[in-house]
Amino acid sequence: MWPGSDLPTGSPPMGPATPSWVPERRVGPSAGWYVLPVVLLFVALVGFFAVLAFLWDDSKVADGPPAAGDPVVGVRVQLSEGYGYFLYVRTGGSSPYSCVVDLGERSGPVRLTRKNSWSATDRAGYRYTATFLAPVSGTARLTCKGTDGPILVTPDDTVHGYLGFALLAALGLGGLAALSFAVTLLRRGAAKRRTIAPPPYAR
């Protein structure tokens, strides 16, 4: 520079270029969100098959044949010890106040209750009146007092209702799993389609 002059000579030093753009952060669910539908589907399948395994024996008994006959002479009915049975009387007939089961040398009264009466299905010409637990297994003779018309004995099929509820719950969780998977897939796809503007060329 000239003596006495305070003007700089040459170009001022250039610092590092500052980018005029900032990459946009991609917005969207991470791949870890796919774990949620997998967990929901797993819980649905395991839960349903666990209930099915737990109630398998009950469902086989519930599919047993009904039996009808004279309550005084006795009705031959196939029983499984510890399982419930519905007792029906003819429509308009009186309800029995006591019943006895005979199987070979074993004989004894059964306790009449209203257990699971909500699931007793309608039978043509009959009405539900009581439930009892089988004290023995095998083809036994059931006699009842207090009713003079024919009676009908069927296995307690409440287990079918429980299996139906379990199936509906499994289907509901499966639907949530499918919805969660679809939402995650769509949001991740939308995030990938977003384009980020390329950086401008330095001038």
pLDDT tens figures, 138-155: 999 999 999 888 999 999
Over range 49-76, report the average pLDDT: 91
Q: 106 vs 25, which has greater pLDDT?
A: 106
Residue 1 has pLDDT above 50, yes or no: no
Tell me the per-residue pLDDT of 168-180, one tens digit each, with 9 for 90 and over.
998 998 888 888 8
Q: What angle do CA 194, 199, 200 make, to 5 degrees?
A: 130
**Residue owning tokens 């007939």:** 93
- Which region among 42-46, 112-116, 176-180 has the lowest average model confidence (pLDDT)? 176-180
**pLDDT, the chain, mean:** 81
Over range 31-57, report the average pLDDT: 84
Residue 77, both tokens: 């009915």
- The verdict on pTM exceeding 0.85 is no
Over range 63-76, report the average pLDDT: 93
Which of 195, 177, 182, 203 has the alpha carbon at shortest distance from 37? 177
Cα separation, 180 vs 198, in Å, equals 33
